[in-house]
Amino acid sequence: MLLKAQAIAKSFGPVKVLTDAGLQINEGDSIGLIGVNGAGKSTFLKIILGELKCDTGELIRYTDEVGYLEQFPESSPQFTVRDVLGRPYGHIENIKRKMREIESAMASGKDVDWNALAAEYSQLERDLKSSDVQDEGKLVKSLKKVGLPQDIMDRTMDSLSGGERTKVMLSRILVQADECDMLVMDEPTSHLDVETVEWLEDYLLRSRCSLLVISHDRYFLDKIATRMTEISNGRTREYKGNYTDFITKKMLDLDRMEKEYKKYVNNKKRQEEIAEQLHKDQWYLTTHKTRQKLITKLEEKDKPEESRDITVRIQAAPKSGKNVITCKGLSVELGGRKILENVELDICKGDKIGIFGSNGEGKSTLVKALLEKIPSKGELWVAPGAKIGYYSQNHEGLDLSLTAEEQILKAIGKERRGDARAILSRMLLTGDDVGRPVKTLSGGQRARVALCMLLLEETNVLVLDEPTNYLDIPARHAVEEALNEYDGTILAITHDRYFLDTVCTKVAEVKEKHVRMFNGTYSEMRGRPNTKEVVMDADEYKVVSPFTNWVTGKKYAKNDRVLIAPAETVGFQWALDQGKLKKTGGRQRKKVSAPEEDAE
């Protein structure tokens, strides 16, 4: 066991954020921590890391070797990339803590090995002095692993893009990962392109560190998580498996709780009616009091959580005609540098196209060229009947000085205050949030205001730039459902692979100045069925005598180590039955194809 948190409670003034949160992290665990925006995930994480103190509850940490990736990457102008990479989370604090412990032991006057303590203290002093001087080669290697060049080392953090800052923080994790027992990550895939996220997944699966990850990236959670912990109404609830397993099990849980609660309510009501009738019929006896005591002893069932759902309905304008946008030999050059060349696209009515690619490859440039916002060469035709609605991930269309309500009233008319409130309420924006300036709202709340503005437009073509950024998982589901029902054409730039699978009928990869279109989902393009590749806890076995796995054709020699997940047991059953394999007791995470019965 690396960490145990029990009955954690935390309030900020009158607001109770956590009331009964708990979590146990063991060696080899890979845990996804999820919940709606504002549920208390980041607060719980800070308590676990010791950055915040809980009001009540118990927290026991059995290791100080912890790596931490913050949700908002360091952006201070005071620090260069080299500075940040040289300051692993908790490294200096751990050295100072060990020095204090030795000082305390020396001052206690107890019988201690003074020579050993003095030698250790001297080494810690040297470590502290050299803590800012890291092996240059190790730093450069960590940067290259995440796709950053060496010449970025002396740039200040505030001069980097959001994606570059996140990659620097990932590099910092790599610098210390070999010495960590546990990695804690808060939204690690934010601002990362698909290629980097997939690299991170593979790295984490190879890592021997235990993982605790807050993420809204459902594809990522399906890949790396073997346990899910949900925070809801200040409490935690744990589910075995990845995100897809969590969804299935939670729906079954809610259904069971609903039935149990209805049964309890009906039984209690019936017993109360019987007690009342007994009191009327036999008023001279105390039989009804006995019945009432029995009622108080009924096992009370919790009422299932009442969750408010975001309601999104995007109305399409009259259809635009079969062909919407066509381009041949399209090229774009900016600042003397060619960004795109020889792009061939034929976008038709009803197409739902997801555009993805590495940062800086030209995804936004492609969309701006198609919308004729920047000059391009070649043939480009846009249907005269195309009514285009645009959603920007940076929400440039919002006036940050106005309130959410004022934004809507500006679009529909000042006299329609009731309608404005109703529109915002559909996106769960109510109460004080409606009257606050947009600049004071969270990223998720701003995104919902921007979506409200989009709902007011009559469009038959939607151009979306990272439509799921800043949204929690329930909001993402709501937006995806609305886009699936949308009768028009969609062109979406996104790094959200779950979105690419559930909404898009075609995907376009922008790479090396070219655009490659594929008729199908992202997972189909990559040659695998949607979310059928999962992570499981695998048992380690030692090969006692040589054998061949006839399912895969692979040969195993004596003393080889083999990891076998539950989904793979059938393929090794003969070897197990014949005593060819002996369980060692070790366990690790392993990526495997989902069993066929799970796919049905």
Residue 597 pLDDT exceeds 50: no
How crowded is residue 313: how many other Cβ atoms within 10 Å of its Cβ?
10
Backbone angles phi, psi at 42, to 5 degrees: -65, -35
End-to-end Cα distance, the chain: 36
Same fold, 3-245 and 323-525: yes
Residue 30 corresponds to which tokens in the numbers above? 């890979």
Rounded-to-10 torsion of CA 374, 376, 382, 384: 60
Alpha carbons 24 and 4: distance in angstroms, whole number: 4
* H helices present in 440-557, as ranges: 443-455, 473-485, 497-502, 522-525
Any idea what the Cα angle at residue 294 is, between residues 293 and 300, rounded to 5°? 105
Helix axes 417-426, 404-412, angle to 10 degrees: 120
Any idea what the Cα angle at residue 12 is, between residues 9 and 16, rounded to 5°? 50
CATH of 3-245, one of 3.40.50.300, 3.30.70.270, 3.40.1000.10, 3.20.20.70: 3.40.50.300
Confidence of residue 304 (pLDDT cuts 50, 70, 90): low
Backbone angles phi, psi at 559, to 5 degrees: 75, 0
| β-sheet bridge partners, residue 182 | 66, 210
Residue 453 pLDDT exceeds 80: yes
The pTM of the whole model exceeds 0.75: no
Placement of tokens 């009515």 in the chain: 349
pLDDT tens sequence across 21-67: 999 999 889 999 998 888 889 899 989 988 889 999 999 988 878 88
**Contact (CB, 8 A) for 401 and 437:** yes
Sign (positive or negative) of CA dihedral 272, 276, 279, 282: negative
Q: pLDDT averaged over the chain?
A: 83
| Domain edges within the chain | 3-245, 246-296, 323-525, 533-599
The contacts of residue 279 (CB under 8 Å, 6+ apart) are 288
Residue 528 pLDDT exceeds 80: no
| Summary count for the chain: helices (H), strands (E) | 19, 23
Question: What is the 3-class SS of 366-414, one letter each residue?
Answer: HHHHHCCCCCCEEEEEECCCCCEEEECCCCCCCCCCCEHHHHHHHHHCC
Name the nearest CA neighbour of 174 among 154, 198, 204, 196: 204
pLDDT tens sequence across 330-344: 999 988 889 999 999
What's residue 72's pLDDT? 63
Coil, helix or strand at residue 142? helix
What's residue 592's pLDDT? 63
- Pair type for strands 547-549 and 554-556: antiparallel
What's residue 340's pLDDT? 93
Coil, helix or strand at residue 60? strand
Alpha carbons 537 and 567: distance in angstroms, whole number: 10
Q: Maximum Cα–Cα distance for the chain, whole Å?
A: 101
**Contact (CB, 8 A) for 509 and 356:** yes
Backbone angles phi, psi at 394, to 5 degrees: -95, 0
pLDDT tens sequence across 280-298: 888 777 777 888 888 887 8
| β-sheet bridge partners, residue 61 | 3
Alpha carbons 98 and 108: distance in angstroms, whole number: 15
Confidence of residue 275 (pLDDT cuts 50, 70, 90): confident
Residue 229 pLDDT exceeds 90: yes
Alpha carbons 51 and 54: distance in angstroms, whole number: 10
CA 550 from chain centre, in angstroms, equals 39
Alpha carbons 92 and 118: distance in angstroms, whole number: 19
Which of 185-189, 262-266, 436-440, 492-496 holds the top average pLDDT? 492-496
Rounded-to-10 torsion of CA 485, 491, 493, 495: 40
What's residue 203's pLDDT? 86
pLDDT tens sequence across 425-449: 877 788 888 888 888 887 778 888 8
| β-sheet bridge partners, residue 15 | 12
Confidence of residue 78 (pLDDT cuts 50, 70, 90): confident
81-95, 115-129, 458-472, 557-571: which range is least confident on average?
Answer: 81-95
Residue 531 pLDDT exceeds 50: no
Residue 108 pLDDT exceeds 60: yes
Sign (positive or negative) of CA dihedral 193, 199, 203, 206: positive
Residue, of 352 and 400, whose pLDDT is higher = 352
Name the nearest CA neighbour of 449 among 485, 426, 413, 424: 424
Alpha carbons 53 and 60: distance in angstroms, whole number: 12
**Contact (CB, 8 A) for 167 and 160:** no
**Contact (CB, 8 A) for 387 and 460:** yes
Confidence of residue 504 (pLDDT cuts 50, 70, 90): very high
Name the nearest CA neighbour of 77 among 147, 197, 160, 152: 160
CATH architecture assigned to 323-525: 3-Layer(aba) Sandwich (3.40)
